[in-house]
Amino acid sequence: MDSSVASSSGAAATPEAAGTLDAALPKTYDPAGTEARWQAAWEQAGAFHPDPAAPGEPFSVVIPPPNVTGSLHMGHAFNTALIDTIVRFQRLQGKNVLCLPGTDHASIAVQTILEKQIKAEGANKDDLGRDAFFERAWAWKAQSGGTIVGQLRRLGYSVDWKRERFTLDPGLNKAVVEAFLRLHAQGLIYRGEYLVNWCPASGSAVSDLEVEMKEVEGSLWHLRYPLTPVEGEPIDHLVVATTRPETMLGDTGVAVNPSDPRYAHLVGRSITLPLVGRQIPIVADEHVDPAFGTGCVKVTPAHDPNDFAIGQRHGLPQITVMAKDGTTNEAAGRFAGLDRFEARKAVVAAMEAEGLLVKTEPHRHSVPYSDRGKVPVEPLLSTQWFVRTEPLAARCRTALDNPAGPEPRFVPERWSKVYRDWLTDIRDWCISRQLWWGHRIPAWFVVSETGGVITEATPYVVARDEAEAWAKAEAQFGAGAQLEQDPDVLDTWFSSGLWPFSTLGWPGEATAAGPGPGAAGEAPQEPADLATWYPTSVLVTGFDIIFFWVARMTMLAGAFLQEPAPDQPDSANPDAPARERPVGGRDSWIPFRDVYIHGLVRDENNRKMSKSAGNGIDPLLLIERYGADALRFALVREVAGAGQDIRLDYDRQTDTSATVEAARNFANKLFNATRFALMNLGGETPASLGEPVPAELESEDRWILSRLTRTSTQAAELYGSYRLGEAAKLLYEFAWNDLCDQYIEWAKPRLFGDDEAARTTARRVLARSLEALLVMLHPLMPHLSEDLWHAVTGAEASEFLALQRWPQPDPAWLDASHESAFQFGIDAVRSIRNLRALSGVKPAEKLPIGIHTPTAARQDFVIANQGKISRLVGASELHWEAEPTAGQLLGIVDSDAQVGLTVPPQSLDALRERLQKDLAKIEKEIAGLAGRLANPNFAGKAPPEVVAECQANLAEARAQAELVGGRLGELG
């Protein structure tokens, strides 16, 4: 006992880890100081910096790296809460857990922000130059990244900050270059001129995924195209309908459906394109819907994806009439130099002037918008780099069909369909961006071969660096070769797509320094982190980036991690137990075993929170008001239906949230429960008190230990299967209802009394239950639980709850029949309190109370717990006769027990009303049960145990009805 007191005060003597509770014993929990203190302590101790050679089954998560575009919003806090709950739980399971943090350079988003800033300063990025721009971008990254990291720390994220990565840091650049080279060597990267989505706002190509279709109110212009005249032909023109009249300047054909009787005979004839005068052919193409518009389509292969395809099928020329800044070019003739929307007006006006505008109809249609630029994208012919996706997607589909189980496994499962569908009709991925902020494409053009300029035909070499490029170029093109590196950068998602392995050290030193992929004699030493933690255990992310990110990661992993990793003997720790992994390397190349997809955080009006909508909530505001633990608990608790969006209530006037406040109240409840324990454990700790001795346990001891055992099994199951919200609710109920409302109240007489032995038993049970609860809650409320755990256990400051083991209560404590026996006590107490309230007895007034039951076991229970029950119900004396004494006010617990008060019956009406209500309810139940039993089909077909239960319930209900009826009769 004494030694434990010493260890408790020992913790208090270490200032940086002193439990809040040891000092002034405030009545309310103040999260701010506690949270900061433990965050610092964890980090200083390197608590979350795992060793790849350490024992324990590896468990790893790479966090979705937030964009360095400013600060974090509630969605990030949600994602963080979920991931940290999972990894902290797994750490408590004794696994070798790595949670790797980082941020994403967000090429186009950051460049857009910076260009806006520069523009506001009256300059543009070209004045600045590429190097200065880069410097500025890095400064921005430092600032925004710092803010983000600060926010993640404030949430208590148990990530390994020593392994923090940034998608544009040198190590990841090496991975990006290597990935590009290997894909190129595999024939999976090509360069060519295709119609791409051009964003005039950012001056870059974007991928299909970065285009968002928006419904807009536009117009459908019907234009008259005169046929080049032919003798005897009655039709002298066609009418085409278009939403983009300006593109007619680039028309190189008109298409009709081959089976359209109106026009079939005109196929092959030519048209004189108005305003331009070009002769263009009429072609027949299945794509044309005869029922839409006039059934004639103008074909502009250089400015529309469908027209591009038609043009390809019919060999039509591609005439680009638009420049990359969204203005018409010289090919637009007299319309050249106009902004595209001006050009539209000008063309329509000109057509009208020539009497060729048949009509203009209002027309609602979808227009492709650039996600980032927020302007309509322009389909434009452009030479870009592409990844050939089908072979990569095919591998992913095969993995998903793995007969041993889908890889990855989606939770909830329905998202695997979304993932598969996208991989099934996938288009090639345009990966080049005409931006500066990003990974420069590792390709050098041999410009000497094409007269010093870069064209589509310019040959190139891909290389790890300039020296290698020169070597390759000279070998291929001779010493006179002139090189120029491609000025473009790669799509951000190209580097994000490598995240689960690039952050773990892929491709490793030997390979990177080696002569090239597949070269002989190469003996790549797989990085230890990769060997231990790849594939990662689970990816936790929102459904909105399944295509952008999840699928890109699986596709790229398929290109690089197919080969089994070499066996890595555990040299640093030869005695370590064998890993649960196949000898010879990883069991899958898919970068994560599970993909846990969560919903979005919506605002109080059920709108998606987003920066652009301006309805985001700064997590820091709520953390400051309620604490990080409260915010985390609130977010996780809301997520019981996995994959469902969550709605966070929020009052923008006062920056308050009832949901988070409820979680804060729970934190305070735990704080006070622990405070109560500290005040009543007499300076002892769970360890110094020792195990509860079965023979000494009282009723509530056995009950709470059984509940604890049950809860610990259930909570582990829930956490382990990503049912985090359910775990949160379960523990909330155990803590508040079972431990605080029941156990502590029943145990108080012993804790406050002088019976040393009884007090010790109660202390043992209380200490053990509370400690186990704190461990179980740790994944959800890490700071509070860490703090309280230190206070309760007196653990050294250098020890952490975060690194303890999940509670292993003795299974022998599980006792369902005792749980229901004790439930009688709870129910009896409630019945008495109800009766007191009903009869208007003052809470402070003590009065004689009876519990009446003919059952011996229950009588024994009442006798054994007389003092406790008396205290709980405010009894001056407690009777336990089998039958009620005359003149008492009676309440029904169940058919086998009644409770009674001896008071002047001043509230008979209230009691009568209550009994009548009870009776009505019971009779309704009887009618239902009797009806069911009367149905011969039920008795014949329902399982016998259900029938028996039904009969038992009916008997119970009838007995209760009789009791209630009798009481009503007495009341008159």
Closer residue to RNA, CB minimum distance, 449 or 661: 661
Beta bridge mates, 353? none
At residue 214, the 3 state secondary structure works out as strand
Closer residue to RNA, CB minimum distance, 668 or 706: 668
Task: Return d(Cα 442, Cα 193) in angstroms, integer.
Answer: 19
Q: How far apart are the first and last CA of the chain?
A: 62
Closer residue to RNA, CB minimum distance, 118 or 716: 716
Concatenate the DSSP letters of all residues of 546-613 into one string. IIIIIIHHHHHHHHHS-SPPPP---TT-TTSPPPSS-TTS-S-SSSEEEEEEE--EE-TTSPBP-TTT
Task: Return d(Cα 796, Cα 693) in angstroms, integer.
Answer: 27
Task: Return d(Cα 963, Cα 834) in angstroms, integer.
Answer: 17
Give the H or E element holding residue 532. Answer: helix 528-533
The pairing of beta strand 253-256 with beta strand 279-284: parallel
Residue 400 Cβ, how far from RNA at the closest point, in Å? 15
Residue 170 Cβ, how far from RNA at the closest point, in Å? 33
Residue 917 Cβ, how far from RNA at the closest point, in Å? 7
Task: Return d(Cα 943, Cα 928) in angstroms, integer.
Answer: 18
Q: Identify which of 743, 671, 585, 499 has the alpha carbon closest to the alpha carbon of residue 20.
A: 671
Residue 504 Cβ, how far from RNA at the closest point, in Å? 30
Residue 839 Cβ, how far from RNA at the closest point, in Å? 11
Beta bridge mates, 378? 198
Beta bridge mates, 73? none
Residue 265 Cβ, how far from RNA at the closest point, in Å? 19
Q: Identify which of 248, 216, 219, 239 has the alpha carbon closest to the alpha carbon of residue 293.
A: 239
Residue 71 Cβ, how far from RNA at the closest point, in Å? 23
Residue 592 Cβ, how far from RNA at the closest point, in Å? 21
Q: Identify which of 92, 65, 69 has the alpha carbon closest to the alpha carbon of residue 79.
A: 65
Q: Which two tokens stand for residue 57?
A: 């089954």
Task: Return d(Cα 52, Cα 95) in angstroms, integer.
Answer: 11
Residue 914 Cβ, how far from RNA at the closest point, in Å? 8
Q: Identify which of 192, 201, 213 has the alpha carbon closest to the alpha carbon of residue 431.
A: 192
What are the Cα distances from residue 888, in Å, to 7, 826, 836, 900? Answer: 55, 21, 12, 6
Closer residue to RNA, CB minimum distance, 605 or 817: 605
Closer residue to RNA, CB minimum distance, 716 or 933: 933
The count of other CB atoms within 10 Å of the CB of residue 541 is 21
Residue 332 Cβ, how far from RNA at the closest point, in Å? 18
Residue 74 Cβ, how far from RNA at the closest point, in Å? 14
Beta strands in 789-855 (DSSP E): 847-852
Handedness of CA 967, 968, 969, 970 (dihedral sign): positive
Residue 282 Cβ, how far from RNA at the closest point, in Å? 14
Residue 851 backbone phi and psi in degrees, to 5: -120, 125
Closer residue to RNA, CB minimum distance, 263 or 533: 263
Closer residue to RNA, CB minimum distance, 440 or 647: 647
Residues 6+ apart with CB under 8 A from 75: 542, 600, 601, 609
Residue 861 Cβ, how far from RNA at the closest point, in Å? 18
Closer residue to RNA, CB minimum distance, 149 or 387: 387
Q: Identify which of 825, 823, 821 has the alpha carbon closest to the alpha carbon of residue 871.
A: 825
Residue 360 Cβ, how far from RNA at the closest point, in Å? 13
Task: Return d(Cα 759, Cα 747) in angstroms, integer.
Answer: 9
682, 8 Cβ separation under 8 angstroms: no
73, 619 Cβ separation under 8 angstroms: yes
Task: Return d(Cα 604, Cα 600) in angstroms, integer.
Answer: 13
Residue 287 Cβ, how far from RNA at the closest point, in Å? 6
Residue 835 backbone phi and psi in degrees, to 5: -65, -40
**Given phi > 0 = left and psi -120 to 50 = alpha, else beta, which region is 129?**
left
Q: Is residue 618 classed exposed, middle or buried when 0-12, 13-18 and 19+ CB atoms within 10 A define those classes?
A: middle
Beta bridge mates, 839? none
Closer residue to RNA, CB minimum distance, 418 or 971: 418
Task: Return d(Cα 392, Cα 390) in angstroms, integer.
Answer: 5
Residue 284 Cβ, how far from RNA at the closest point, in Å? 12
101, 161 Cβ separation under 8 angstroms: yes
Give the H or E element holding residue 150. Answer: helix 130-154
b/e map 628-661, b = 16+ CB within 10 Å: bbbbbbbbbbbbbebbebbbbebeeeeebbebbb
At residue 328, the 3 state secondary structure works out as strand
Residue 695 Cβ, how far from RNA at the closest point, in Å? 27
Residue 529 Cβ, how far from RNA at the closest point, in Å? 34
Q: Which two tokens stand for residue 698?
A: 């009282």
Task: Return d(Cα 957, Cα 27) in angstroms, integer.
Answer: 46
Closer residue to RNA, CB minimum distance, 139 or 946: 946
